[in-house]
């Protein structure tokens, strides 16, 4: 029994069957990659896990509890954090403030009225956010406006913000898309370090095979909304169906 | 001090000094001089500065922090005024229960209106608040004013009549709003040579309330709640996916700002015991938007400056008439004098809104951060100029 169990999930957009009977089981404390050609339904699947979309059929269980019908913030509070394809951070706020917000969310839940207290005197949150910034190697940027950072740094910050919530499952949607090689390698190293050092399960959607094969212990290949195969990286590399799916993509 | 950092403490002290010394500061010209028309130290004008300052401070907690632009906040101000006048009519002229009920009623209404309006964001939210405010206006202006059930007294406005119940009124108390016997109208006039200064009880009550709610707004800005509100303005998607529910946060901000508006409305009635529907009209809602933007959206002091600025110039410009203009331009040859009066005429008196519109456009185009940004630029310019002169020979005092 995995920490995340997806059963027979289907999702239709008008006439397009974006997902049809997806079954997926992600084991605790592993890195599980979901790959597939463009338009295969990877992002749609991920959106069904975090409450952005509600699947038409099937069930999604996280740690034995259904996530269907819950709103994004409730699912997040259950222990699922998500990194977006383009970094979603609080652009108008400082890097430190960005990091403090998930710390508050972790400590105080989805809403707690603390309108008189002084933010900078919440010692536990300030210390945790500072430590997280050190971990993410961006302590020197703490006063910077988050929007003014490079894309690689924004990605790092976003990952750090997710980790500050101590999630049990971290979902990443093409975290290296549009990144230069050096930034991609940094991100791979960061994710490796995270999965080695923390009690965390990572599910990653990725296009870049280099990233997938450097990180994943388990790979699901998705094509046209249905899983083709699920196996370990060695077997996936040589699998005829996978090559076909990718060859099909290049031929199109 | 008071749980604030140095910069905020200085700001609070500055506001306290300015409001407490306002009768002096706003009356710089001798009472008989030609410049006396630019004086603003009259009790009723000073009261308006402060009351609209309170209104704008509250509005800024919603608009400045969360970015949700309400076009209906005057409704809460009007509700506050009606509630206060009803206390005067039924129970007592004491302003404390009147102001308390004004805040509570505005709070209750803003829970309902906020709950519905906040189901949408952006322009749809603004339109919903506008619709609610116009409904409130219609209710106050006609629907709730009929012989069988007269809650608002329609066009005439709600006021206190000699036949009213006034259960706790005693003859020893003033026959006007008072604070435990101290009439809001009581004024001490200080004449110093050619100058004259008025110290009005009502103004000082408003000023003290302003200081309290300004302090509260600083605390809110610096609190985790304030941080969450700014997070909502910055990126609601990230907010939700960080496990935070934007809805109750925005609703709380909406209700707080509604209560500030109710407080302003209650104080307005406490200064002058009547309440009219025009207070709830959309133009009144628009005015607080202008005040906030003009002063500096999302800054602490901006809304107060914007409110003072608009109310001051409204008073000055709307008072000027053609004969004053002729006096000003008397030094010109006759033809030119008439021409100048002709040119300036549309911008004064009732045409003051034209002037306001132009001022507003200039500020938005050249100072998007409002008067606060203007102040900062001037401050920087003075500092740099000082540095250029000294060329580093002397050390500048820190801050
Ligand atoms: N909100 C939507 N409405 C309509 N069609 C959508 C929507 N989201 C995705 N799709 C379609 O569903 C298919 C799968 O998309 P997506 O999950 O984004 O693929 P991937 O992330 O694997 O590239 C695509 O054909 C896409 O056009
Ligand atoms: Mg995608």
Q: Which of A100, A101, A105 to mutate to test the interface with B (most CBs of B within 10 A)?
A: A101
Quote the mean pLDDT of chain B. 92
Q: What share of chain A is helix, strand, coil (3-state, %, to 5)?
A: 45, 25, 35
Task: From residue A58, give the alpha-carbon distance in Å to each of A22, B53, B169, B261.
Answer: 8, 56, 70, 50
Nearest residue (by CA) to ligand 1, atom 25, is A39
* pLDDT, tens only, B276-321: 999 999 999 999 999 999 999 999 999 999 999 999 999 888 888 8
Cβ(A34) – ligand 1 distance below 6 Å: no
Residue B92 DSSP label: -
List of chain B residues whose C-beta atoms are within 8 Å of the C-beta of residue A105: 242-244
- B129-187 pLDDT tens trace: 999 999 999 999 998 988 888 899 988 999 999 888 899 988 889 999 999 999 999 99
pLDDT at residue number B76:
98
Q: Which of A72, A79, A73, A131 is nearest to A100 (CA)?
A: A131
CB of A41 sitting under 6 A from ligand 1: yes
Using the Cα atoms of residue A185, residue A188, residue A190 and residue A192 in order, give the sign of their dihedral: negative
pLDDT tens digits along A30-60: 999 999 888 899 999 999 999 999 999 999 9
Return the residue of B nearest to A82 by Cα. B241
**Ligand 1 center to residue B250 CA distance, Å?**
32
Testing ligand 1's pocket by substitution, the residue of A43, A86, A228, A249 carrying the most ligand atoms inside 8 A of its CB is A43
Model confidence over B380-396: pLDDT tens digits?
999 988 776 555 444 44
Q: What angle do CA B185, B187, B190 make, to 5 degrees?
A: 165
Q: Which residue numbers of A have CB closer than 8 Å to B's CBs?
A: 50, 71-73, 76-77, 81-82, 84, 88-93, 97, 100-102, 104-106, 108-111, 113-120, 122, 125, 161, 165
* Residue linked to tokens 């506050």: B80
Any idea what DSSP says for residue A17?
E
- The bridge status of strand A31-35 relative to strand A218-223 is parallel
**What's the mean pLDDT in B224-234?**
98
First to last CA, chain B: 18
| Residue B97 burial by Cβ neighbours in a 10 Å radius (0-12, 13-18, 19+) | middle
CB contact at 8 A, B295 and B134: no
Cα B10 to Cα A65, B6, B301, distances in angstroms: 52, 6, 12
pLDDT, position A228: 87
The answer to whether the beta carbons of residues B156 and B145 sit under 8 Å apart is: no
Element housing A127 (H / E): helix A123-135
Q: What are phi and psi of A227, to 5 degrees?
A: -70, 130
Q: Please determine, for residue B398, whether its predicted confidence score (pLDDT) is greater than 60.
A: no
- Yes or no: say if A223 and A27 are a contact pair by the CB < 8 Å rule: no
d(CA B104, CA B100): 6
Q: Which residues contact B134 (CB under 8 A, 6 or more apart)?
A: B72, B282
B237: distance to nearest CA of chain A, Å? Answer: 7
**Coil, strand or helix: which one is A191?**
helix
Contacts of B228 in chain A (CB under 8 A): 101, 104
CA B298 to chain centre: 15
Each residue's pLDDT tens digit, B336-345: 988 888 888 8
Preferred mutation among A107, A115, A146 to probe B, highest tally of B CBs within 10 A: A115
With a threshold of 0.85, tell me whether the complex ipTM lies above it: yes
């Amino acid at each position: 029994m995995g920490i995340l169990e997806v059963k027979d999930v289907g999702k239709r957009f008008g006439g397009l069957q974006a997902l049809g009977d997806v079954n997926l089981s992600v084991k605790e404390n592993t890195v599980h990659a979901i790959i597939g050609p463009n338009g295969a339904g990877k992002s749609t699947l991920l959106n069904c896990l975090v409450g952005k979309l509600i699947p038409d059929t099937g069930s999604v269980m996280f740690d034995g509890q259904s996530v269907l019908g819950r709103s994004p913030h409730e699912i997040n509070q259950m222990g699922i954090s998500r990194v977006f394809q383009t970094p979603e951070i609080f652009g108008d706020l400082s890097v430190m403030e960005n990091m403090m917000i998930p710390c508050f969310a972790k400590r105080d839940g989805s809403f707690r009225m603390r309108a008189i207290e002084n933010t900078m005197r919440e010692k536990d949150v300030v210390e945790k956010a500072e430590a997280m910034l050190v971990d993410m190697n961006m302590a020197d940027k703490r006063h910077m406006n988050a929007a003014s950072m490079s894309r690689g740094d924004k990605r790092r910050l976003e990952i750090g913000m997710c980790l500050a919530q101590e999630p049990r499952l971290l979902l990443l949607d093409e975290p290296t898309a549009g990144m230069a090689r050096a930034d991609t390698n940094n991100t791979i190293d960061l994710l490796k370090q995270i999965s080695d050092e923390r009690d965390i399960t990572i599910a990653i959607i990725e296009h870049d095979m280099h990233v997938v094969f450097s990180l994943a212990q388990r790979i699901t290949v998705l094509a046209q909304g249905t899983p083709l195969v699920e196996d370990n990286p060695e077997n996936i590399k040589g699998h005829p169906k996978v090559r076909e799916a990718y060859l099909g993509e290049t031929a199109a | 001090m008071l749980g604030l950092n140095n910069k905020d403490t200085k700001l609070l002290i500055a506001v306290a000094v300015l409001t407490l010394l306002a009768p002096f500061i706003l009356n710089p010209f001798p009472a008989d001089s030609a410049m006396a028309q630019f004086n603003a130290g009259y009790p009723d004008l000073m009261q308006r500065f402060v009351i609209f300052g309170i209104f704008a401070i509250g509005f800024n907690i919603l608009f400045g922090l969360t970015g949700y632009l309400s076009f209906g906040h005057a409704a809460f101000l009007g509700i506050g005024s009606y509630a206060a006048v009803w206390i005067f009519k039924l129970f007592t002229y004491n302003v404390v229960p009147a102001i308390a009920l004004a805040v509570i009623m505005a709070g209750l209404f803003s829970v309902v209106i906020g709950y519905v309006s906040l189901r949408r964001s952006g322009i749809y939210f603004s339109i919903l608040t506008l619709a609610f405010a116009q409904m409130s206006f219609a209710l106050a202006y006609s629907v709730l004013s009929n012989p069988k059930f007269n809650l608002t007294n329609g066009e005439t406005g709600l006021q206190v009549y000699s036949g009213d119940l006034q259960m706790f009124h005693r003859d020893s108390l003033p026959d006007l709003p008072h604070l435990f016997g101290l009439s809001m109208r009581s004024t001490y006039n200080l004449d110093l040579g050619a100058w004259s200064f008025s110290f009005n009880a009502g103004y000082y009550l408003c000023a003290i309330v302003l200081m309290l709610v300004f302090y509260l707004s600083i605390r809110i800005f610096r609190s985790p709640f304030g941080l969450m509100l700014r997070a909502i303005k910055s990126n609601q998607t990230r907010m939700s996916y960080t496990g935070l529910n934007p809805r109750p946060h925005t609703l709380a901000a909406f209700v707080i700002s509604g209560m500030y508006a109710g407080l302003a409305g209650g104080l307005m009635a406490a200064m002058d015991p009547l309440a009219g529907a025009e207070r709830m009209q959309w133009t009144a809602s628009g005015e607080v938007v202008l005040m906030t933007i003009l002063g500096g959206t999302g800054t602490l002091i901006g809304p107060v400056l914007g409110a003072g600025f608009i109310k001051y110039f409204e008073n000055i410009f709307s008072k000027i008439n053609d004969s004053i203009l002729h006096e000003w331009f008397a030094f010109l040859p006759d033809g030119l004098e008439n021409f100048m009066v002709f040119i300036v005429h549309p911008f004064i008196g009732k045409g003051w809104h034209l002037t306001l519109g132009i001022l507003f456009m200039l500020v938005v185009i050249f100072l998007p951060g409002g008067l606060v940004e203007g102040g900062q630029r001037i401050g920087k310019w003075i500092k740099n100029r000082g540095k250029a002169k000294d060329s580093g020979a002397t050390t500048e005092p820190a801050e």
